[in-house]
Amino acid sequence: MPVHSQFRLLGQRRFLPFYLTQFSGAFNDNLYKNALLLLVTYQAGGLMGLSVNVVVNIAAFLFILPFFLFSGIAGQMADRYEKAWIIRRVKAAEIGIMSLAALALWFGWYELLLVLLFLMGAQSTFFGPVKYSILPRVLANDELVGGNGLVSMGTFVAILLGTIAAGVIAGAEQAARITAVAVLVMAVLGYLAARKVPDTRDEAPEVMVRFRPLLETWRLMAVARERPKVLGAILAISWFWFLGAAYLTQFPNFAKTWLAGDETVVTLLLAMFIVGISAGSMLCERLTKHRITLAPVPWGALGLTLLGIDLFFAVPANPEPSTWLSLMTEPVYIRVLLDLVGIGICGGLFIVPLYAFIQYETPDHKRARIIAALNVINSLFMVASAIAGILVLGVFDLGIPTFFLILSLVNALVWVSVLGLRRRAAQSVDN
């Protein structure tokens, strides 16, 4: 294996335990969330007299709410205390949450599962700032892009596998109890991996931790504005989450209505998108030649626009009933799959260099708070994405392909923006 290959990091203790901790957490989050939604949809038939659609939206709200409440506190803690110590405490908390979830799943206490979804969101909120701020402490500058690429690939693969696992388990006779065992086992495995994460010895005792929900989150924005180029990178990443959320949210209806597909088609679309992101994330190290640079970002943005436009024209006018196999074998559908893979690849090229840039440009004692600010803005953009989908598809009654087309055209403006960011950033990176 080449000396500078990013994959060599998977054989080193400074990186592998953290990677496994992140992977298990992303897998468990998506296993739990999707299993809960499937159980509510197909077994509980809604909760507390509410329709399934209302419950699904409540679940999404409960998971994202902690990011707005606690991100400021989470960022302060991650800057103030040793990061491996925080990781171990967060993963220990996950075991506690998943123990309660296992009991709730075992006995069918679905209302408690919704409360625990809020706690899972809180756990993710406190883990998020540590996740990306620890990498510059354990990786050299010429390893940052490759390390971020591995984390991006692992996260999206874990999301895919967790989603698929939830669907497979949902079809079993004892789905709730199997899920109970699975989420608890994954939480324990994540904690065991976290125990091996080496200490970074990077405490910053001058940072004050204040338990003031929302207020401290708001103050994160002031920290982010201190560095305009970093703020530009944050907004660019958040736009990708807006775009990605729009695609992922619409895949089920897109597959059913516009591709005449069954349930397997939804999984295939998700898989193609995530395979693309993983491939793009892995390509970044080679394309950047191990340097901190935003050079791939405009190309990724341009690809998102061009391939998104092509996807609009690739959708068949009169689709025949399809399965995952027909999508992969019939020419009329192959173009759709290739566009989705390409969009994913361009997404990986887009976000990985931006993450590395933020880590490189941010001072050690503020890095976690900057990442926390990023998480807040990501959440805002994902909420905005849902609202945009409601407006375009519900109010204006435009089709999903048209929605994708609009997103691609708006992304052209983002391409112009990141071209400017790339020029401004060249003064401090590209070395």
Q: What are the pLDDT digits (tens) for 118-170?
A: 999 999 999 989 988 888 888 888 899 999 999 999 999 999 999 899 888 88
Residue 272's CATH number? 1.20.1250.20
258 shares a domain with 171: no
How far apart, in whole angstroms, are the C-alpha atoms of residue 282 and residue 203? Answer: 32
Position 219 confidence tier, pLDDT thresholds 50, 70, 90:
confident
Give Cα separations from 105 to 96, 120, 158, 327 (angstroms). 14, 15, 22, 36
- For tokens 């990061």, name the residue: 83
Residue 297 lies in a domain: yes
Predicted TM-score (pTM) of this structure: 0.90
**For residues 272-286, average pLDDT:** 93
DSSP string, 304-354: HHHHHHHHHHHS-SSPPPB-HHHHHH-HHHHHHHHHHHHHHHHHHHHHHHH
Q: Answer yes or no: are the C-beta atoms of 188 and 95 closer than 8 Å.
A: yes
Residue 209 lies in a domain: no
255 shares a domain with 357: yes
Structural domain that includes position 278 = 214-431
How far apart, in whole angstroms, are the C-alpha atoms of residue 165 and residue 152? Answer: 20
Q: Which of 201, 230, 256 is the last residue of a domain?
A: 201
234 shares a domain with 286: yes
228 shares a domain with 127: no
131 shares a domain with 95: yes
424 shares a domain with 393: yes
Residue 206 lies in a domain: no
139 shares a domain with 273: no
**pLDDT, position 49:** 62
How far apart, in whole angstroms, are the C-alpha atoms of residue 428 and residue 431? Answer: 8
Residue of higher predicted confidence among 50 and 162: 162
pLDDT of 236 above 60: yes
Residue 245 lies in a domain: yes
123 shares a domain with 10: yes
How far apart, in whole angstroms, are the C-alpha atoms of residue 14 and residue 210? Answer: 31
164 shares a domain with 56: yes
177 shares a domain with 276: no
Residue 207 lies in a domain: no
Write the burial class of residue 386 (CB in 10 Å: 0-12 exposed, 13-18 middle, 19+ buried): middle
Q: Which residues contact 10 (CB under 8 A, 6 or more apart)?
A: 16, 19, 150
303 shares a domain with 171: no
287 shares a domain with 197: no
Count up the domains in the chain and report the number.
2
Neighbours of 181 (CB within 10 A): 14
- Among 299, 85, 298, CA closest to 198: 85
Q: Which residues contact 109 (CB under 8 A, 6 or more apart)?
A: 103
Q: Answer yes or no: are the C-beta atoms of 59 and 52 closer than 8 Å.
A: no
C-alpha torsion sign, points 224, 225, 231, 234:
positive
191-221 burial, b for 16+ CB within 10 Å, e for fewer? Answer: bebbeebeebebebeebebeeeeeebbebbe
Residue 208 lies in a domain: no
Residue 118 lies in a domain: yes
Q: Which residues contact 90 (CB under 8 A, 6 or more apart)?
A: 123, 126, 127, 130, 194
Q: Which of 201, 232, 267 is the last residue of a domain?
A: 201
Residue 144 lies in a domain: yes
Give the lowest-confidence range in 45-49, 101-105, 118-122, 250-254: 45-49
**pLDDT, position 279:** 94
pLDDT of 204 above 80: no
Q: Which of 172, 201, 230 is the last residue of a domain?
A: 201
